[in-house]
C-alpha cells in the first residue's frame, strides 16, 4: 500500500488531519515508507524511530478527535541529531557520542512533543555542526536529492535533504554560520534561522553558544512560520532566550510587500559567485519590485572580515563547549593506563578531523598571549559587523542576498581545502555574528537543475517581515518549485 501523503505540506496535512480525512498513522506510515524507499541513496537519517513514531501517531490520532488539537498534532517531523531527545540516541554525528542516549528532551523537542508532533528520526549533519556539506559526519555524508553525486550542504544537510525528498513534512535544524540556510538553498527548501535568542538552545548540543540558533526546514514559508511559532519563546532553562512575546507568524503572511524597502548590499555580489546564482538573485529582486517593493543599495563594509571573525569566536567557544567529551561520564571512552592518556585517546578516536581542527584553532585563539590579538579583536570586529547591519536597516526593511556563492558542489570537491569549504558560508556567517534572522526561499535552478536559494534578512526580531516577503515571493508566479526526481 503506497500513498503520496508524504508529499503534503504541513499546512495541507493539518487541514486534512483535522477534517479526519487522513489519520496521523497513515501519514506517518507514508513517510516511513518513503524513508525506506529513498534512504539507501540519500542517507539523510542517522536514526529512524519507526515504532516510536507510529506510537506517537496513534496517540496523535486520539488527540485529533478533540476540537482544540494543537497545530502540529500528528505532523511527522525529522530532527537534526543535535537535539537531545529523551530515550533516543543523540550522536551529533560524532563517534564520541555514537551510543549516547540523553535522559532529557531539548526544550524545542518538549514543545513539539506537547503539541503531539511525530518524530520520524534523527537526521545527519556535520559532526558537532562543524561543516558546510554534511561530509564531516562520522557516519558518512548525506547526498543531495537533486543529484546524488553532490552534497546536501551543511551542517543540517540531513534535515534539508529529508524535507526536499519528502521523507518528512518538515524538520528542525540549527544554524551557527549558515547551517540551516546553505543546505536549504542546496536542497531547494525553505529554511529560517531566527534572531539569536528567539528560540531556546536548551538541549541543543552546543557548538558556538553565542551564534547557535534553532530553526525549521519546510516545503513552504507558511509551514516554516507555523513551526517557528511552535518552538519560539522564553525558556526558564535558557537565560539567553528572549522573553519577548512570540507573534502569530502565520498572520504576518499577508502577501503584501508594497512599499517595502529591500536593501541590496553591494559587497555581496562578489567575484567567484556563479553567474546563475547572481542571475536568479537579481531576478528575484525584480520580482519584488514588480510586487511593489523598492530596491535600495546598501553597504556592509566589514563583510570581508566576517569569516575570519567567525572562525575565531566560534572555535574559541567550541573549544570549551567540546571539553565535556572526556570519556568520564558518557560517550566513548578509550581504555588507557593514565588519566592523561584516557583523555587524549578518547578525544583522538572520538573526534573527526574538522572538529579537532576547530578545537585547536579555538584553544589557540584563547591562549595566554594570543587572546587579545585573536579572540578580543574578533569580538571588536563582531561589534563592527553588527553596527554595519544596524546602519543598513536605517535605510531598508529587509536585505536580500544570495544564500551561497554556488549551487550544491560535488561530494569530495572541497573536503581537501577547508578554506574553500569555509567560503561557502560567506553570505550567511555575518548574519549569525550580528544575531539577525534570515530566511531562505528557493528562487530558481541552474542549468544542472540544482536549486538556488534566496536569502532574506531582517532586523532583530524581524521574523514577521522576512516571512511575509518570502511568502509573497513564493506565492508569486516568478518560478515554480520543482521537487527532486528521485
Partner 1 sequence: MIRCKQEEKNITMTSVSEKYEAVIGLEVHTQLLTSSKIFCGCSTAFGAPPNHNVCPVCMGMPGVLPVFNRRVLDLAIRAGLAAHCEISPHSIFARKNYFYPDLPKGYQISQYELPLCNGGYIELPAADGEQPRRIRLTRIHLEEDAGKNLHGADSSLVDFNRSGVPLLEIVSEPDIRSAEDAGAYLRELRLMLRYLEVSAANMEEGSFRCDANVSVRLRGATALGVKTEVKNMNSFKNVEKAISHEIERQIGILESGGRVVQETHLWDPDREETRPMRSKEFAHDYRYFPEPDLPPLKVSRELVEEIRAAMPELPSARRARYLRDFGLSQYETDVLTNERDVSDYFEEVISAPGLSNRKSAANWVMTEVLRVVRESAKPIAESAPKATEVGSLLAMVEKAEISLNAAKTAFAAMCTSGKGASATVAELGLAQVSDEAAIATACDRVLAANPDKVADYRAGRDKLFGFFVGLVMKAMGGKANPKVINEILKQKLAG
- Is 5:102 a contact under the CB 8 Å cutoff? no
CB closer to partner 1, 338 vs 477: 338
User: Pick the catalytic residue: 23, 132, 155, 156?
Assistant: 155
- What is the footprint of partner 1 within residues 179-238 (CB under 8 A)? 201-206, 208-210, 236-238
User: Pick the catalytic residue: 94, 156, 179, 185?
Assistant: 179
Q: Is 447 in the site for partner 1 (CB under 8 A)?
A: no
As measured in angstroms, the least distance from the Cβ of 217 to partner 1 is 20
CB closer to partner 1, 325 vs 409: 325
CB closer to partner 1, 40 vs 103: 103
Q: Is 349 in the site for partner 1 (CB under 8 A)?
A: no
286 is catalytic: no
Q: Is 385 in the site for partner 1 (CB under 8 A)?
A: no
Report the residue count for the chain.
486
- What is the footprint of partner 1 within residues 10-39 (CB under 8 A)? none
CB closer to partner 1, 96 vs 165: 96
Q: Is 316 in the site for partner 1 (CB under 8 A)?
A: yes
Q: Is 106 in the site for partner 1 (CB under 8 A)?
A: yes
Q: Is 83 in the site for partner 1 (CB under 8 A)?
A: yes
Q: Which of 20, 324, 380, 482 binds partner 1 (CB under 8 A)?
A: 324
Stretch in the footprint of partner 1 (CB under 8 A) among 112-120, 134-142, 317-325, 474-482: 317-325
Q: Is 375 in the site for partner 1 (CB under 8 A)?
A: yes
Let me know if 271 is exposed, middle or buried by CB neighbors in 10 A (0-12, 13-18, 19+).
Answer: exposed
CA dist., res. 190 & res. 481, Å (int) = 11
Q: Is 326 in the site for partner 1 (CB under 8 A)?
A: yes
155 is catalytic: yes
Q: Which of 36, 148, 290, 328 binds partner 1 (CB under 8 A)?
A: 328
Q: Which of 3, 363, 415, 476 binds partner 1 (CB under 8 A)?
A: 363
Catalytic residues: 80, 155, 179
| Binding footprint of partner 1 on the chain (CB under 8 A) | 82-84, 90, 92, 97, 100, 102-104, 106, 201-206, 208-210, 236-240, 316-317, 319-320, 322-326, 328-330, 339, 343, 363, 366-368, 371, 375
Amino acid at each position: 500500500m503506497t500513498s503520496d501523503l508524504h508529499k503534503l505540506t504541513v499546512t495541507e496535512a493539518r487541514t486534512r488531519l483535522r477534517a479526519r480525512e487522513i489519520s496521523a498513522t497513515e501519514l506517518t506510515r507514508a513517510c516511513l515508507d518513503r524513508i525506506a524507499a529513498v534512504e539507501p541513496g540519500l542517507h539523510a537519517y542517522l536514526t529512524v524511530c519507526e515504532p516510536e513514531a507510529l506510537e506517537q501517531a496513534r496517540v496523535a490520532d486520539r488527540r485529533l478527535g478533540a476540537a482544540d488539537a494543537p497545530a502540529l498534532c500528528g505532523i511527522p517531523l525529522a530532527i537534526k541529531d543535535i537535539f537531545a531527545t529523551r530515550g533516543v540516541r543523540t550522536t551529533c554525528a560524532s563517534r564520541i557520542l555514537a551510543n549516547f542516549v540523553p535522559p532529557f528532551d531539548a526544550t524545542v523537542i518538549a514543545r513539539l512533543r506537547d503539541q503531539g508532533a511525530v518524530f520520524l528520526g534523527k537526521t545527519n549533519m556535520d559532526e558537532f555542526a562543524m561543516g558546510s556539506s554534511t561530509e564531516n559526519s562520522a557516519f558518512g555524508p548525506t547526498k543531495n536529492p537533486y543529484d546524488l553525486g553532490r552534497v546536501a550542504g551543511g551542517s543540517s544537510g540531513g534535515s534539508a535533504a529529508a524535507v526536499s525528498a519528502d521523507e518528512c513534512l518538515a524538520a528542525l535544524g540549527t544554524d551557527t554560520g549558515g547551517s540551516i540556510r546553505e543546505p536549504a538553498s542546496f536542497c531547494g527548501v525553505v529554511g529560517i534561522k531566527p534572531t539569536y535568542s528567539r528560540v531556546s538552545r536548551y538541549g541543543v548540543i552546543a557548538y558556538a553558544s553565542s551564534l547557535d540558533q534553532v530553526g525549521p526546514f519546510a516545503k513552504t514559508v507558511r509551514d516554516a512560520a507555523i513551526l517557528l511559532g511552535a518552538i519560539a519563546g522564553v525558556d526558564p532553562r535558557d537565560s539567553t532566550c528572549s522573553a519577548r512575546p512570540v507573534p502569530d507568524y502565520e498572520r504576518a503572511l499577508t502577501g503584501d510587500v508594497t512599499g517595502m524597502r529591500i536593501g541590496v548590499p553591494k559587497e555581496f555580489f562578489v567575484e567567484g559567485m556563479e553567474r546563475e546564482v547572481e542571475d536568479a538573485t537579481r531576478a528575484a529582486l525584480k520580482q519584488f519590485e514588480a510586487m511593489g517593493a523598492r530596491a535600495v543599495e546598501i553597504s556592509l563594509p566589514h563583510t570581508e572580515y566576517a569569516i575570519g571573525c567567525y572562525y575565531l569566536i566560534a572555535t574559541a567557544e567550541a573549544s570549551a563547549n567540546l571539553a565535556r567529551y572526556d570519556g568520564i561520564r558518557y560517550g566513548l571512552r578509550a581504555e588507557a593506563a593514565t588519566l592523561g592518556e584516557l583523555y587524549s585517546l578518547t578525544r583522538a578516536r572520538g573526534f573527526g578531523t574538522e572538529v579537532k581542527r576547530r578545537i585547536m584553532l579555538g584553544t589557540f585563539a584563547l591562549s595566554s598571549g594570543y587572546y587579545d590579538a585573536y579572540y578580543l579583536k574578533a569580538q571588536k570586529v563582531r561589534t563592527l559587523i553588527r553596527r554595519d547591519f544596524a546602519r543598513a536597516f536605517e535605510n531598508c526593511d529587509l536585505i536580500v542576498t544570495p544564500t551561497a556563492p554556488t549551487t550544491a558542489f560535488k561530494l569530495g570537491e572541497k573536503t581537501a581545502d577547508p578554506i574553500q569549504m569555509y567560503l561557502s558560508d560567506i553570505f550567511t556567517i555575518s548574519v549569525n555574528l550580528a544575531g539577525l534572522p534570515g530566511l531562505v526561499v528557493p528562487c530558481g535552478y541552474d542549468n544542472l537543475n540544482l536549486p538556488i536559494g534566496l536569502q532574506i534578512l531582517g532586523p532583530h526580531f524581524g521574523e514577521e517581515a522576512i516571512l511575509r516577503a518570502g511568502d509573497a515571493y513564493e506565492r508569486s508566479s516568478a518560478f515554480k518549485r520543482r521537487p527532486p526526481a528521485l
